[in-house]
Structure 1
Amino acid sequence: MRTLRTLLLFFPLLLLAIVSCGKRNDGLPALQRVALLANTHPDSAMALLDSLRDSIFLQPRSVRMYYDLLTVKARDKAYIRHTSDSLIRSVLRYYERQNDKKHLPETYYYAGRVYSDLGDAPQALNYFIRASETADGKDYDLLSRIYSQIGTLYLYQDVYDKALPVFRKCYQYNLLEGDSAGMVYAIRNIGRTYRTLDQVDSALHYYPKFRSILV
């Protein structure tokens, strides 16, 4: 009986410790699972997010904001077109007020993706540039994606002279990351940009690299 009373006495303290650990690690362990799934299995990530929808409102605001960021990320990774900026704007406001250096770069990146889908190229470019300025220099995956998006925006706006060095940066980060698929797309974009600049010889220079990656 004494053992039972002791357990009942310490259970709230144990629960508090678990919750506190969760706060230091972006909340629910399930959200960490979502973060991993979003990159490779976005449909599974969205299903898990949906299963957490009702319980997430009981969590601290920091957890709810991370949930919203992951929602935007999973939808983007699943190629679901963004039709509103309301969710990403609230996430942006929160992380900017917190000066959260961990989550701000990715938040800026997905703000750029949202505004790209909404057809607001200047706003999208602004957020991609902010993402590049705040990203960890060793986060090669994020940096390659940022520069790919910046280059694509320049390309669609016919600003080819600016697109070229950006795509080269993208390629370098793909190389550092060891992302062969990313390198293929970066080389394709570099070649396409050279072609639009009527620099066919320079474009042909990159095609052997393209073939060597595919082999």
Structure 2
Amino acid sequence: MLSDYQGLVDRLVRDDAGKLTAADRDEAIGLALIRYGQARPRQGVADVTPTGDTLPLPAGWVVGSSTLAGLEYPIGQVPPASIPGELYLGPDGLVVMLAGRPAGPVRVRYTLQHALSATEDTLPPADREAVAKYASALLCEQLASFYASDTDSTISADRSFGQTRSQAFAARAREYRKQFQAALGIEEKTAAPAGAVVQLKSTDSRGGSRMYHGRMG
């Protein structure tokens, strides 16, 4: 439950100076939950009755977060049968536009947000530490920024201490992010090249290549 994550994050961050608040911690856990859901979304399944060639969205659908994963019709076949469909924004809101007119319910497979509260936890226990470490990375980044910008340093030793603390929290944040990515098998993205070299096919007036010519005899 939420209290388990709160305690784990507190132990990982070790904010002995009390610079962070409980609200800061809970906000970081919420952001970590969203990031985790992007890598491993929660799966939802619902049987929905179509209206002609359109299908209402399941009750658990979260607009802006849920995605359509598949449509099964007829239900119960082995292997499962599928029916084409796609999201469509009509006058009455978002629906699923179907390729045909099913005579019965359609099984909708979709993704939805994970839930984490004092009474509900939809995350697998094996991923609890990974989520806590992502939240801790966010908090360590905040602490690194705080100590880096602390200019109240009339004594040189105090300034040096603040810089050391900033570097330590920044390093811890990077390590926690790496551990989160490793636990979920996420590859660190690198910047894509700004351009690419391509070979253009160009011919002369007779249809021959402008770039290459046969050897002259």
Q: TM-score, normalised by structure 1?
A: 0.22
Q: Which has the higher contact order (CA 8 A, sep 6+)?
A: 2
Q: Which has the larger helix fraction?
A: 1
Larger radius of gyration between Structure 1 and Structure 2: 2
Q: Which has the larger strand fraction?
A: 2
